[in-house]
Structure 1
Amino acid sequence: MSSFTAVKNFSRRDVLKLFGATGGGLALGASGISWSPMAIAQGKEPRLNLFVAVGEDNKVYLTCHRSEMGQGIRTGIPQILADELEADWQHVVVIQGLADKRYGSQNTDGSRSIRKHYDKMRQMGAIARTMLEQAAADSWQVPVGEVEARNHKVVHVKSGRSFSYGELAVAAAKLPIPELNHVKLKENKDFKHIGKSHKIVDMDNMLSGRARYGYDIQIDGMLYASISRPPVLGSDVESLDDTLARKVPGVVDVIQLPVPEGPPKFQVLGGVAVIATNTWSALQGRKALEITWTASKNDSHSSTSFMESLIQGVKEPGKLVRQQGVENTDWPEDSTQQAIYTVPYLAHAPMEAPAAVASVTPNGCEIWASTQTPQSTQQNVAANLGLNDEQVKVNVTLLGGGFGRKSKPDFSVEAALLSKKLGRPVKVSWSREDDIQNGYMHAISAQFYQAKLDSDQMPTAILQRTAFPSISTTFAENVEYPSAGELDLGFVDIPFTVPSHRCEAVKALAHTRIGWMRSVSNIQHAFGIGSFVDELAHNAKVSCPKMWKEMLGQPRHIDFSGQQFKYGNYGEDLSRHPVDVGRYHQVIDIVERNMAEFAPNQSNQGWGFAVHRSFNSYVAIAILVEVENTNLKVLQAIAAIDAGLVVNPDRVVSQTEGAVIFGLSLAMMGEIAFEDGKVKQSNFHDYPVLRMGQCPDISVTVVSASSAPAGVGEPGVPPVAPALTNAIFAATGTRVRDLPVNKKLNV
């Protein structure tokens, strides 16, 4: 497939440049407002929330309002639009949407870009196609039923006459927007782009080095900032000597940032910013600062002692969050199996650390940022500068990884505050050390699982507890329990058929900024339940896949009614995205079959298995490991993913492969430790990510499905850790219940 023309950020003024002041064309926004560039030239105001534009140059300009971080969304959204539009892929240009609330949500996280916008994008493409068809029918003075859009043209079926889209653009722009009930969507069998693998539109630029990330942005007159932030959450500058810093060549100023009161939210952390004419001088000036920090209530925080308290907490009764059947109170010692699983603090560590450029003027602010949340960036920058949202323009660059870290716009706020203070554009670039030590951590956690067994060693009752500081603590003070939304993520939503299934949450306070990371609470919950099912299977002398199928029961849909909680289902209606046990079975069966194709294990090798539903998708994973002495080698990973209807299969495979690598990095080596309130790790030497030599061969099966599109970016991560540790047990007989694995084995 040919790639698109370079992706662009387009504003109202840019449209004039695109078509020329005397050009014309058709564009549609989510609200269904039509406009033409000619109308702009005449001073008429169009809507900004554009998805489809057709120019007289015969090119189709498709807006992607989501952020691209390698997942391919700047290809997936246009594929949907182009399919319903009957656009020729080689005549498509992608426009990167700016921050604008009229797009609807632009928050590119939660694996929801396709599942939340699939229907809307189809409608936008179909509306544009319908208007082009009507324009052609009007020109030929024939009934619209006699014309048909085909591959970038509208054809009169009876005579064979045709118009290109460019020839129809101006006329189509003058037509009223058709009602949705008069717009016909394609049947799935007629798709030309949806369901077909397309090379991502940014690939060529990424491979050639022409791609522009947040770190690459430079504008005239820009200054560079490096910030020394408080090493403990809640501390502030007690004393500052910046004499030596100001003597560093290139340093132009040293500015102290205030520590905000209340919960962290997306505010700056405070600290001291060194401003220079180049990045190197800013970094060297920062090293020359002499700072002492005030005391904080978090000074005594130790992740070791905190984990011990979480472990003790899950041994005691917690707050009921789900009860299926009647509570079991009889736990005989000889027929009860239990275990506790722990996961440490984790950092996102994307290859590109956070970076933003801000230019504040008397009229407003313009931001260039590697952000997953342009609207949140706009809102938070505006609030900190005392502006209206509309006075802040946010340009979205490519992201060199995000994983949820770049959904928090604190780094853009830092740049904006410094630009306002200096009256110059300012670029804030976080270092790797900044990112690891001052980010928003994935929560430290402990999970308790207990099962009562019958005479066949099958569970008849399950009790589970979870303890971890909630993401809600970032936004409100004195939060003690995980939120319902976090408990929905792999904890309360496991659809077992056991007669009694009880879930409890345990108190845990926060001592650092807690944030969502790729797959969020599914990380710890899938590790817990995926490991425990394997332990039950071993005790019952059956395979782990068989135990999963036995505990899940027969294919059916689950709504958890009458179980004392309301399931959020990742924000989706259960009628559209049901909890479907049959789809669990399907991915389990696929992985079992694929495992059979590989040679039998050697004595020091073992297969591990896990399955998990998250973000409305179903993923099963099997991992083969080899352990020689205490040296671990991961040999093979086999995955099957059912994400419903898939727009770009190549990206689903790629995302699942990436999820396996991400999950292995966390499970094998991921740990952030706190001592005296400070993060001990600083860079990839002590917070490593998987190297190429540690990567297994990975095979991915994408289930062909016509059900509603579900998530892809995150669902592959949760089952990786339990599949890995279950494999280690199969190879060695040693059970790993506390991550990371490198506490026990050399990786």
Structure 2
Amino acid sequence: MQQDQQAPQRVPVRSSRRRFIFGGAAALGALVVGWGVLPPRQRLHASHPLPLSGDAVALNGWIALGADGSVMLAMPRSEMGQGIHTALPMLVAEELDVPLAAIRLVQAPIDKIYGNIAMLKDGLPFHPDDDGRLKAAASWMVGKVARELGLIITGGSSSVKDGWLPMREAGATARAMLLAAAAKQWQARAADCRTEQGFVIHADGRRLAYGALAHAAVTATPAEVVLKAPQDFKLIGRAQPRRDAAAKVNGSAIFGIDVRPEGMVYAAVRMAPVIGASVAKVEPSAVLKMPGVLQVVDFSAALPARTGAGAGVAVLARSYWQARQAALALPLEWQEGPGASLNSAAIYADMAARLDHEAGHTYYAQGDAEGALQQAGSAAGVKRITAEYRAPFLAHAAMEPINCTAQVRDGKVRLWVPTQSPGFAVQAAAKAAGVADDQVELVVTMLGGGFGRRLDVDMVAQVVAVAKQAGGVPVQMIWSREDDTGHDVYRPAALSRFQAALDGQGRVLGLVCKSASGSVSHQFLARNLGLPAGGPDKTTAEGEFDMQYEFPHQRISHVIVDSAVPLGYWRSVGHSHNAFFKESFIDELAHAAGQDGVSFRRGLLQRHPRHLAVLDAAVARAGAPAAGRAHGVALHQSFGTIVAQVAEVAIEEGQIRVYKVVCAIDCGIAVNPNIIAQQAESAVLFGLSAALYGAITIKDGKVEQSNFHDYPVLRMPQAPVVETLILPSAEHPEGMGEPATPPIAPAVANAVFKLTGKRLRSLPLTL
């Protein structure tokens, strides 16, 4: 957390053999045995003490209270621009009845109560409309598995969703303990007392500050703990300013690249340009006499297979510039393996061939889709529509390049890292250094963009392997933009084929969708947990199998094509491309039916009033497009949140120009509308960069792109106005970091069709 960036704390860890469902597919194994008769693990009291300071006392595993009334909150989620260091404290401040400004964040120890349960439960491959016993039983079991594993992960748009109950319960419990302590001191009934802005107030006007009650509250036993009803919320649902905004503006915020432990040296890397290559020969003597150069270290052995960080060496120097220049000058020879034959065209051809000959795994089926299509083939007045869509590999391109700082000395590791997965970072560091997990001290800094890239910890293993040979000094490793672009874990390339039949009235008789791509989850599990790949992976087909259009006959399946290219979680994962495929095809069907896209969608959502409301809100707010422009529409649900977008698009000098995007959202209870709007804007611009420009291509085993000149992102003059509408809701809060990314590509493509009559079925969108 911001207050403790420079002073690493010891993070206690208990090693365990881990088995879990991630992305909807994994064998639970022996971990499940016996759990059916055990109660779910509680999430209020930790096994490890909070890192307290001064006279503060812990009231539970989340909250500690100082004599001055300050509240320390254990923060297990990483701040990477999504505002959770504001939204999550709001949950506690609401239930504890303290000013938001009174809460100070401390880094949570690695303890099971902070594990992300919502993210793992969301990985179950069920359709959103499923409400049967199997789904309920699977959700219950995965929840128990998740509580036992306690994986501390920031991802899957799950931070607020996961924290909604445990963090409110922690605040409400602490508040009840303070009420009980005050009532005992006054020899009064707790029912005659209330709380307000950090005080307990008796009905007769007496009041005590929380700080004065802190020590007494530790042993107090409240009669009951009651969460506030939504109508009583004073903070939740009201826009609050970002708590981290000032530090980011004035430069005091500490990101990974800002860490400066005493005696630190810098490391620059040279990594194999060909996927899967190894170091054949290196001549350190050629650079050791260059200014500031200290050492050359081969880190290849520390890395698991198919990471972003390929085999290679690091050059240590007094400054990063010295290290970088020496790394570029270092004579290196590489041993190229089978990866040298990789090419984008061949990868797509392989996926196409697999779609031709393999059935794949069926994620959702209703009725008899194939039978409906066959019968329609001979019927008069029936139209048969087919289309194939394509999406490329994508890099994350976070503004803060990959970096990590480590010190290995006296059998211990000190680690400063911007990470989305602290537990994995600790394990990777311990393994690379050859020490026990509990000998790793960790500081999680702010992240200058995560987007899923920092769920992986290849950079941690890399720098610890280097620091182990650096004589005990801290080493800060920084990747260049070229390193980052060429050694990412990429969003998978994908192909998707659709078939549908329409009757004479424009009704869909049947729909079949089959897609192909690599599996992110298979690779992630192997890299980070050593689990063998196997089984279906929900992320490959999400956005297609879980659509809520009411087709009477449909079948959605996917073929996993093992990828030699390293794959990783990218913002909105499979939804990022499957929404483009699905929403583009829906528009194609609407056109074939002689209907506009909005009316056609409305006809398919008669049993989904929330989706209809979101769609109608976006269209109504968008109004009519300006002269020479067109509106494209897309509707998509991901991470529990429903988003409709209307993109206002023009064609200027042969280029696609997006002027405005209206984004309507139903994300359940809006904890902080201000942050939700910011997230929607961010997600739209992130998705638009990919829609218009994003493509990683492979030639002879090498990534062809290297920097923003050939992997461009949206620039400020190109950014559209984004208008966000948040629909009122009483439902449980859902994800918000990612759901506004998937609809933007199809919304733009559908607008382009109106302007040009040309269907764009491949990303990025080019005329």
TM-score by length of 2: 0.85
Deviation at 1:412, TM superposition (A): 1.5
The worse-fitting range, judged by mean Cα deviation, of 490-499 and 29-38 is 29-38
| Match for residue 393 of structure 2 among 345, 357, 378 | 345
User: For 1:298, what is the secondary structure of its paired residue?
Assistant: helix
Aligned pairs (5 A) from 1:420-569: 420-422=468-470, 423-471=472-520, 472-476=522-526, 483-552=536-605, 554-555=606-607
For residues 465 and 75 of structure 1, the distance between their equivalents in structure 2, rounded to whole angstroms, comes to 41
| Match for residue 425 of structure 2 among 358, 371, 377 | 377
Aligned pairs (5 A) from 1:225-624: 225-259=267-301, 263-264=305-306, 269-321=310-362, 322-329=364-371, 330=374, 332=377, 335-422=383-470, 423-471=472-520, 472-476=522-526, 483-552=536-605, 554-555=606-607, 581-596=608-623, 598=624, 600-602=625-627, 604-624=628-648
For residues 281 and 172 of structure 1, the distance between their equivalents in structure 2, rounded to whole angstroms, comes to 56
Equivalent pair of 1:260/1:269 in contact (CA under 8 Å)? no
Alignment correspondent of 2:36: none
| Match for residue 134 of structure 1 among 155, 160, 180 | 180
- Greater RCO (Cα-Cα under 8 Å, separation 6 or more): 2
Q: Which one-letter code corresponds to 1:358 in the other structure?
A: A
Alignment correspondent of 1:576: none
Q: Which one-letter code corresponds to 2:687 in the other structure?
A: G
Do the aligned partners of residues 391 and 116 (structure 1) sit closer, same or farther apart at CA in structure 2, a change above 3 Å counting?
same
Deviation at 1:195, TM superposition (A): 1.1
User: For 2:205, what is the secondary structure of its paired residue?
Assistant: coil
Deviation at 1:168, TM superposition (A): 1.0
| Match for residue 85 of structure 1 among 67, 90, 96 | 96
Equivalent pair of 1:468/1:482 in contact (CA under 8 Å)? no
How many residue pairs end up in the alignment?
690
For residues 605 and 152 of structure 1, the distance between their equivalents in structure 2, rounded to whole angstroms, comes to 54
- 1:600-621 Cα offsets, whole Å, 9 max, x none, are 442x421101011100110010
| Match for residue 649 of structure 1 among 673, 691, 694 | 673
| Match for residue 209 of structure 1 among 251, 259, 276 | 251
| Match for residue 30 of structure 1 among 36, 40, 44 | 44
User: For 1:246, what is the secondary structure of its paired residue?
Assistant: coil
Deviation at 1:173, TM superposition (A): 2.2
For residues 9 and 285 of structure 2, the distance between their equivalents in structure 1, rounded to whole angstroms, comes to 47
Do the aligned partners of residues 386 and 13 (structure 1) sit closer, same or farther apart at CA in structure 2, a change above 3 Å counting?
closer
For residues 217 and 5 of structure 2, the distance between their equivalents in structure 1, rounded to whole angstroms, comes to 24
Do the aligned partners of residues 35 and 281 (structure 1) sit closer, same or farther apart at CA in structure 2, a change above 3 Å counting?
closer
Equivalent pair of 2:99/2:198 in contact (CA under 8 Å)? yes
Q: Which one-letter code corresponds to 2:478 in the other structure?
A: S
Equivalent pair of 1:152/1:165 in contact (CA under 8 Å)? yes
Alignment correspondent of 1:569: none
The worse-fitting range, judged by mean Cα deviation, of 684-693 and 321-330 is 321-330
Alignment correspondent of 1:716: 740
Deviation at 1:387, TM superposition (A): 2.4
Deviation at 1:650, TM superposition (A): 0.4
Equivalent pair of 1:9/1:396 in contact (CA under 8 Å)? no
Do the aligned partners of residues 41 and 169 (structure 1) sit closer, same or farther apart at CA in structure 2, a change above 3 Å counting?
closer
Equivalent pair of 1:359/1:365 in contact (CA under 8 Å)? yes
Equivalent pair of 1:9/1:96 in contact (CA under 8 Å)? no
The worse-fitting range, judged by mean Cα deviation, of 376-385 and 646-655 is 376-385
Alignment pair present for 1:196 and 2:196 = no
Q: Which one-letter code corresponds to 1:117 in the other structure?
A: G
The worse-fitting range, judged by mean Cα deviation, of 516-525 and 32-41 is 32-41
Do the aligned partners of residues 48 and 310 (structure 1) sit closer, same or farther apart at CA in structure 2, a change above 3 Å counting?
farther
For residues 475 and 728 of structure 1, the distance between their equivalents in structure 2, rounded to whole angstroms, comes to 39
For residues 37 and 63 of structure 1, the distance between their equivalents in structure 2, rounded to whole angstroms, comes to 9
Unpaired stretches in structure 1, ≥5 consecutive residues: 15-27, 556-580
Equivalent pair of 2:432/2:465 in contact (CA under 8 Å)? yes
Alignment correspondent of 1:568: none
Deviation at 1:497, TM superposition (A): 2.3
| Match for residue 693 of structure 1 among 717, 723, 738 | 717
For residues 386 and 528 of structure 1, the distance between their equivalents in structure 2, rounded to whole angstroms, comes to 46
Equivalent pair of 2:514/2:559 in contact (CA under 8 Å)? yes
Equivalent pair of 1:356/1:411 in contact (CA under 8 Å)? yes
Equivalent pair of 2:421/2:456 in contact (CA under 8 Å)? yes
Deviation at 1:138, TM superposition (A): 1.0
For residues 678 and 298 of structure 1, the distance between their equivalents in structure 2, rounded to whole angstroms, comes to 8
Alignment correspondent of 1:95: 106
Alignment pair present for 1:167 and 2:208 = no
Equivalent pair of 1:382/1:388 in contact (CA under 8 Å)? yes
Alignment correspondent of 1:575: none
- 1:374-408 Cα offsets, whole Å, 9 max, x none, are 11111221223232222212211111111000111
Alignment pair present for 1:54 and 2:96 = no
Aligned pairs (5 A) from 1:667-706: 667-706=691-730
Do the aligned partners of residues 285 and 130 (structure 1) sit closer, same or farther apart at CA in structure 2, a change above 3 Å counting?
same
Equivalent pair of 2:525/2:532 in contact (CA under 8 Å)? no
- 1:105-129 Cα offsets, whole Å, 9 max, x none, are 3211000001111100010001110
Equivalent pair of 2:60/2:174 in contact (CA under 8 Å)? no
For residues 339 and 216 of structure 2, the distance between their equivalents in structure 1, rounded to whole angstroms, comes to 65
For residues 66 and 38 of structure 1, the distance between their equivalents in structure 2, rounded to whole angstroms, comes to 19
* CA RMSD across the alignment: 2.7
Equivalent pair of 2:50/2:109 in contact (CA under 8 Å)? no
User: For 1:641, what is the secondary structure of its paired residue?
Assistant: strand
Deviation at 1:262, TM superposition (A): 6.5
Equivalent pair of 1:34/1:173 in contact (CA under 8 Å)? no
The worse-fitting range, judged by mean Cα deviation, of 664-673 and 81-90 is 81-90
**Percent sequence identity over aligned pairs:** 34
Alignment correspondent of 2:192: 146
Do the aligned partners of residues 260 and 367 (structure 1) sit closer, same or farther apart at CA in structure 2, a change above 3 Å counting?
closer
Equivalent pair of 1:6/1:202 in contact (CA under 8 Å)? no
- 1:553-582 Cα offsets, whole Å, 9 max, x none, are x22xxxxxxxxxxxxxxxxxxxxxxxxx22
The worse-fitting range, judged by mean Cα deviation, of 517-526 and 328-337 is 328-337
Do the aligned partners of residues 722 and 50 (structure 1) sit closer, same or farther apart at CA in structure 2, a change above 3 Å counting?
same
User: For 2:643, what is the secondary structure of its paired residue?
Assistant: strand
Equivalent pair of 2:265/2:317 in contact (CA under 8 Å)? yes
Deviation at 1:438, TM superposition (A): 0.3
User: For 1:347, what is the secondary structure of its paired residue?
Assistant: coil
Unpaired stretches in structure 2, ≥5 consecutive residues: 12-41, 117-151
Deviation at 1:437, TM superposition (A): 0.3
Q: Which one-letter code corresponds to 2:621 in the other structure?
A: N
Do the aligned partners of residues 146 and 12 (structure 1) sit closer, same or farther apart at CA in structure 2, a change above 3 Å counting?
farther
Equivalent pair of 1:470/1:514 in contact (CA under 8 Å)? yes
